[in-house]
Chains A and B, each alone.
Chain A
Amino acid sequence: MELRKSYFSDVRKDDLNEIGQPRPRSDSPGHVTGKTAYFADRNFPGMLHLKMVRSPHHHARIRSIDTSEAEKHPGVVKILTARDVPHNVYTILILIQIGPEDEAVLADGKVRWKGEAVVAVLAETERAAQEAAAKVKVDYEVLPAVFDMEEALKPGAPLVNEYHGQNYYLYDSGECRKVRFGDVEAGFAEADYVLEQSYQSSPIEHAPTETTGCIVAPEGNDRFTCYTNTQAMFFTLDNTSIILQMPGSKLHFVGGTVGGGFGGKVDVIVEPIAILGAKLTGRPVCFTYSREEEMQISSPRAAEKVVIKDGVMKDGRIVARKVTGYTDAGAYSRHSPYGAQKGAGHYPGPYTIPNVWIDTYCVYTNRTPSSAMRGFGVTIGDFALEVQMDKLARLIGMDPLEFRFINAYRDGDMKAHRQPTEGAALIECMQEASRAANWPVAEKYMAMSSYAKGA
């Protein structure tokens, strides 16, 4: 790898001895010899297997649950319902004061998406757990469901989640996260062209090679060791502590080895119920998603809709940008209010635009709860923004890369959320990219710098 020292030569440090040096990964010797221990590589004598009974409906009231047949199934040791969970309704980000708690560990009175966990069955073997789970009888009263964000926001739409009271997340700024900068209508009025486009994405599953799961071993001193492939060790520890009403000192989490995650193992889904199972049976418990569950039950990247309206001058300056973003949270919050909020901060793009208006909505629908995935909240936005940039450049007959140089933010520029730009290097990246891609741009752009404005 070549380290370009010409950039920022007056401000860069040259005593770096890690950056630019190849370093072997510390875990790869274990990987290539098959010695790395993933959570499922542990096996405890007397280990029970946990299987979930899941909702076959998108939205339904639970009239009754009958576990009597399942309890008689050979090999069944324990069956858990909402009643068994000490603090059943939780939300992951409550740890950073983002509420309300809106999701049940085991469904309580109602299911809000197809696949929601209703009853947990613990049995001697995976097969016995599966067979017994099929014998649990749940009587549902099916309710009308809503799957489309715009439908969900219309008055009279079925209410997805009572803990919110409406089908959107209520931010402290109101029904959406807002950014206001300059006067966007004045910007559109002065613009030579105005272009409004909408962009839409589907949910995307992470599909890690190793499925989500954990193994819990009771330690005999009322402590529990949980071997897990979570990507969020402390979120998991602290939320488990809240859900099970157990001090964190009773919980010992062992992890750090994750067979692919991409954000899909950030939610706190398998650990609390598996630990509860171990606590109530006194035996080790394994709760692992099948491949089918991984694809259908684990939270995907949210479906998003982004509407972008830009005002642009013939000389290439973007003078106004108005964005409305919709994030489909599915039935529960998980990390989506944060994802939608990130979008609000991100939609101005790495560009200096004097007039900006942004609204982003986190919307509840009766779909699989979405959550973290590789830059969630901004990746779809980036796709939309950059396609929009190309369309704008085409509209004014300008080279798309030169168009970006004109609008690129540089040190000292004020961003729409009123944070002055510091440490920008977009210009330099684009200069390198134009060389690497053999995409020539005019000399004046090659002479620009992020660091010294006016250069």
Chain B
Amino acid sequence: MAKVPVQFTLNGSEKAEFVESGTTLLNALRDKIGDTSPKGGCHQGTCGACSVIVDGELRLSCLTLAETCNGAAITTTSGLAEGGVLHPLQRAFLDAFATQCGFCTPGMLMAAKVLLDHTPDPSRDDVVEALSGNICRCTGYEPIIQAVLTAARANSQNAA
């Protein structure tokens, strides 16, 4: 099958790959590039475990073709901590017991990050809405919602 070249930045570093036409971004990231932080839970756009950020927007990488990401800036959970310092969301998920098996966690973090990037001071309803595409089967949503609200508060304190 024909291979197509794709180039994008992943968590700030340049990547160039040849992928089979039709390869999902999820498979390209995991199998080709070796960033396994996005998880495949359903491969059909219903669980949110594969969520990544493409040019500032939340995207389901299982439904995104790698070849459509040429020139894009992609962020995944493995790029969230900077210089070994956890992002406030990561810190809050740790502290608030918002992660049990952890399989949904990378997707949750990405959805939460996009929310906080656009809405630094979200209401509880905003958080619920932002996480509504992500399924967690272990933790229950309340600790996750609380973690996102805590991270938002930490952020606004830093900003102040």
Contacts and interface: CB of A to CB of B under 8 A. Distances in A.
Given A24-B94, A34-B37, 10 more contacts: A28-B102, A31-B102, A32-B109, A33-B77, A36-B102, A208-B101, A209-B103, A209-B137, A210-B103, A291-B43
B80 interface: yes
User: Interface size bucket, B side?
Assistant: 35 or more
Given A207-B137, A262-B137, A31 B41 contact: no
Interface string B75-89: 011101100001000
Interface in A255-295: 258-262, 290-291
A211 B42 CA distance: 8
A28 B99 contact: yes
A207 B47 CA distance: 11
A31 B81 CA distance: 12
A38 interface: yes
A27 interface: yes
Given A37-B36, A43-B31, A32 B41 contact: no
A290 B40 CA distance: 10
B54 to A, nearest CB: 17
Interface of B: 30-31, 34-44, 46-47, 49, 76-78, 80-81, 86, 90, 93-95, 97, 99-106, 109, 135-138
A-B pairs, 7 with minimum CB distance:
A34-B37, A31-B102, A259-B103, A34-B77, A41-B36, A32-B90, A34-B78
Contacts of A258: 101
Say what secondary structure dominates the interface of chain A: loop
Which among A34, A41, A260 has the greatest number of chain B C-beta atoms within 10 A?
A34
30 contacts: A24-B94, A27-B102, A28-B102, A29-B94, A31-B93, A31-B102, A32-B90, A32-B99, A32-B102, A33-B37, A33-B77, A33-B78, A33-B80, A33-B86, A34-B77, A34-B80, A35-B37, A37-B36, A40-B36, A41-B30, A206-B137, A209-B136, A209-B138, A210-B41, A258-B101, A259-B41, A259-B101, A261-B101, A262-B137, A291-B46
A290 B43 contact: yes
A209 B44 contact: no
Nearest to B106: A34
Contact of A291 (B39, B42, B102): B42
Nearest to A288: B40
B11 to A, nearest CB: 10
A35 B103 contact: no
A32 B105 contact: yes
Which among A38, A43, A209, A210 has the greatest number of chain B C-beta atoms within 10 A?
A209
B41 A211 contact: yes
A63 to B, nearest CB: 35
Nearest to A37: B36
A4 B65 CA distance: 56
Nearest to A208: B137
Contacts of A31: 93, 99, 101-102, 105
Contacts of B86: 32-33
Given A28-B99, A32-B93, A32-B105, A209 B41 contact: yes
Contacts of A12: none
A83 interface: no
A418 interface: no
A38 B40 CA distance: 11
A43 B28 CA distance: 12
Interface string A34-50: 11111011010000000
A28 B139 CA distance: 12
A261 B86 CA distance: 28
A291 B138 contact: no
Interface in A282-315: 290-291
A34 B36 contact: yes
Which among B31, B46, B86, B137 has the greatest number of chain A C-beta atoms within 10 A?
B137
A30 interface: yes
A155 to B, nearest CB: 43
A25 interface: yes
Contacts of B37: 33-35
Contacts of A33: 37, 77-78, 80-81, 86, 90
A37 B42 CA distance: 18
B93 A209 contact: no
B103 A260 contact: yes
A43 B27 CA distance: 11
Contacts of A37: 36
B68 to A, nearest CB: 20
Nearest to B40: A40
A43 B135 CA distance: 25
Contacts of A260: 101, 103, 137-138
Given A28-B94, A33-B90, A259-B39, A291 B44 contact: yes
A73 to B, nearest CB: 15
Nearest to B147: A32
